Amino acid sequence: MTTVRTVHTADLDGGVLAAAHSLLVEVFDGDFTVEDWQNSLGGVHALLWDGAELIGHGSVVQRRLLHGGRALRTGYVEGVGVRADRRGRGHAAALMGELERVVRRAYDLGALGATEEALGFYAARGWEVWTGPTSALTPAGIVRTEDEDGAILVLPGAVPLDLAGGLTCDWRDGEVW
């Protein structure tokens, strides 16, 4: 029987954190950097367990996105993955259900960067593709992130959004989006 548990990074012991990190390195076939892991920490984790075995992970961390002259408190989804041999059973949907619950109850909106393969999955859950230009607020000022255009999705909340308008993320190491 599988269960999803949500817990803040501060309440996870080192063994669970190590297992989650290893799981994501495996899920992303080695294309999950130290910065990717660091960007997944500091918020709420959704952990999918099959008994005592961790088979899925996702997290929501707080970020600030600039849009329409406002800094929006954003629940940014990171590190979502399910072990390859457990896919196709609704596990990713169960993880996202918990992460979306956190986003809806604690943030102005949700956001995430998606691969092309995952766009349909997120769209079916109500996430919308940001069609406007994306940028990052870097130490050198605002810099366009054209490579991310069309790959950023938002889960709208109470704040009105113009999906064709500009969206700027706060700075962080590694992948800014």
pLDDT digits (tens, 9 = 90+) for 23-71: 999 999 989 999 999 999 999 999 999 999 999 999 999 999 999 999 9
Cβ burial 66-87 (10 Å sphere, 16+ → b, else e): bbeeeebebbbbbbbbbbeeee
CA distance 170 to 44: 19
pLDDT digits (tens, 9 = 90+) for 73-114: 999 999 999 998 988 899 999 999 999 999 999 999 999 999
Cβ contact 79:60 at 8 Å? no
Identify the CATH number of the domain defined by range 2-169. Answer: 3.40.630.30
pLDDT at 109: 97
Cβ contact 85:38 at 8 Å? no
For residue 70, the SS3 value is: strand
pLDDT digits (tens, 9 = 90+) for 134-172: 999 999 999 999 999 999 999 999 999 999 999 999 999
Phi, psi of 133 (to 5 degrees): -70, 145
